[in-house]
Amino acid sequence: MPLSADRLTRTALIYAGAIACGWIGSLINLPLPWMIGALVFATGLSLSGVAVRVPQVTRPVGQIVIAGSVGLAFTASALESVVQMFVPMVLAALATLVAGFAVAWVLTRLSPVDAVTASLASIPMGPVESANLARRYGVAPGPVIFSQTLRIMALVILIPPLVLFFNGGLGEADSVLRAVHWTLPGATLLLVLAVAGAYLMKAVRLSNPFFLGPLAASAAAAAAGLPVTAVPYWVLAGAQVLLGVWLGAAMDRSLFRRAGGFVPAALISTLLMIVMCIAMALAMTAVTGHSWTTMVLAFAPGSVTEMALTAKILQTDVALVTAFHLVRIFIILPTAPLFTRWVALLARR
């Protein structure tokens, strides 16, 4: 169905405002300025009552571009390092799951929500996946969506600036991404493979196909030595804007109002989850000898796209950071229906 002229104008104005805020973010040297600026702008509009409606295709496009770029870090030598850390990655995923249950218990003490709602709100999953489980078990999806979205937004806004600040200052935060080598044939090949990977994963109904598919395709191309290169910085910046606006639009005013008194409790539990994951990351640093920046980004409870981009900015182990997140995703998402059923059964006793 074609968009009306009024809808097109509103969409263009939304993206114009998001780009302007991204540009301001770049002037003050924010890491991921285009994503954070767009996110802040879209969230502000949404909470002020302005309907931020953008085409659904914008999220997959942003994911394909960024996931394809991240996948280039999976060279043959990087894959060897990832394989050596497989056991710590599994332990990290399980520890994050345990931390999620601990935070869920705290959430039940801070707000009048049941155990199933608290678990689905606290354990790192996507808003869509957790909302579907909430509906299946007969609990209101609103608080779950709110908490999951709030956690992702907090990670995007807090973790990249804090990691760069404690790593020596923001400086020219995005200079590494700006200086990346690219060629037109190499970037074109990367995008073609990324799109093909996305739709292949969608055809086999894998969760989050527009991130995992392009990531797998570009990683395979990089490991095989195919002539793929990064995309131009302006393309990567545009993808950040698309994802920032989409995420900000998810925090709509009606959702915020429905959350009501649940908001302070969700904020406290979100910050608690982040602090617990940082503590686990520092413990893993002591055990493995990897840099604390790599481990903090790897243990972040969600936002793999943003954490991987931050790793690129820091020129740290992008493949390892991404692999930690992927292992957690592949452990938590398939088992989510099982542990939700357990929680529901225990709650009835």
Distance (Å, whole) CA 236 – CA 37:
14
> Any idea what the CATH number is for the domain that residue 149 is in?
1.20.1530
pLDDT digits (tens, 9 = 90+) for 84-117: 889 999 999 999 999 999 999 999 999 888 889 9
Pair of tokens at residue 261? 């008194």
Give the chain's domain count. 1
Name the E strands within the chain.
Answer: none
Average pLDDT for residues 118-124, to the nearest whole number? 91
Q: Quick count: other Cβ atoms within 10 Å of Cβ 9?
A: 11
**Residue 40 backbone phi and psi in degrees, to 5:** -65, -45
Name the E strands within 71-168.
Answer: none
Distance (Å, whole) CA 60 – CA 48:
26
pLDDT for 176 beyond 90: no
Distance (Å, whole) CA 158 – CA 144:
21
Q: What is the percent of the chain with per-residue pLDDT over 90, rounded to a whole number?
A: 34
- Output 132 or 35, whichever has higher pLDDT: 35
Distance (Å, whole) CA 57 – CA 50:
21
Average pLDDT for residues 136-163, to the nearest whole number? 86
Inter-residue contact 108 to 262 (CB < 8 Å)? no
Inter-residue contact 239 to 62 (CB < 8 Å)? yes
Confidence label for 1 from pLDDT (cuts 50, 70 and 90): very low
pLDDT digits (tens, 9 = 90+) for 340-349: 888 888 877 6
Torsion angle of alpha carbons 138, 143, 251, 68, nearest 10°?
-70
The residue range of the domain holding 282 is 5-348
The pLDDT value recorded for residue 89 is 92
Q: Which candidate, 245, 232, 180, places its Cα nearest to that of 19? A: 245
Inter-residue contact 194 to 214 (CB < 8 Å)? yes
**Cβ-based neighbours of 312, under 8 Å, separated by 6 or more:** 69, 70, 73, 176, 177, 318
pLDDT digits (tens, 9 = 90+) for 255-282: 777 766 788 999 999 999 999 999 999 9
Inter-residue contact 85 to 287 (CB < 8 Å)? no
Instruction: Among 5-19, 92-106, 151-165, name the most confident range.
Output: 92-106
